Amino acid sequence: MSKGIGGKNNWALFLLLLAGIVLGGFIGELTSGVAGLSWLNYGQSFGFSNPIVLNLGILVITFGLTIKITIASIVGVVLAIIIYRLL
C-alpha cells in the first residue's frame, strides 16, 4: 500500500475526493430548481464540445471529455479533504 505523509493512504484521499466531487455535483443538480439554493449549481464546463472520432477501418474509437466544476462540487472537495484530515 502506498502511504502518504503521516502514514495516510493516498488511495483513501483519491476515493474521498472522487466521492466529494460526485456528491457535490449531485447536490448541485438537485438544488438547481430551488430558488434559494440555485447558486450551488453555478459553475463552468470545459472540455471537448464535439467528440473526437478515430476511424481505423475495423475499429472506431470515440474520445470525449467534459468537466463541469460547480460551487457544490468545490464544497464537496473541501469537505472530503477535511474528512481525510480527521481520519
pLDDT at residue 34, rounded to an integer: 85
Beta-carbon contacts of 7 under 8 Å, excluding residues fewer than 6 positions away, are none
pLDDT of residue 36: 87
Phi and psi at 68, nearest 5°, equal: -115, 115
pLDDT in tens, the chain (87 residues): 555 555 568 888 899 999 999 999 899 889 888 888 888 888 898 898 888 999 998 999 999 998 888 999 999 999 999 999 888
User: What cell does 47 get?
Assistant: 472540455
The continuous run of DSSP H or E covering 28 comes out as helix 10-30
17 Cβ contact partners less than 8 Å away, ≥ 6 residues apart: 77, 80, 81
Question: Whole-model pTM?
Answer: 0.73
pLDDT at 75: 93
User: What total of structural domains would you count in the chain?
Assistant: 1
Q: Which residues pair with 9 in a beta bridge?
A: 3
Range of the domain at 48: 5-86
Q: What pLDDT is attached to residue 3? A: 57
pLDDT at position 10 is 83
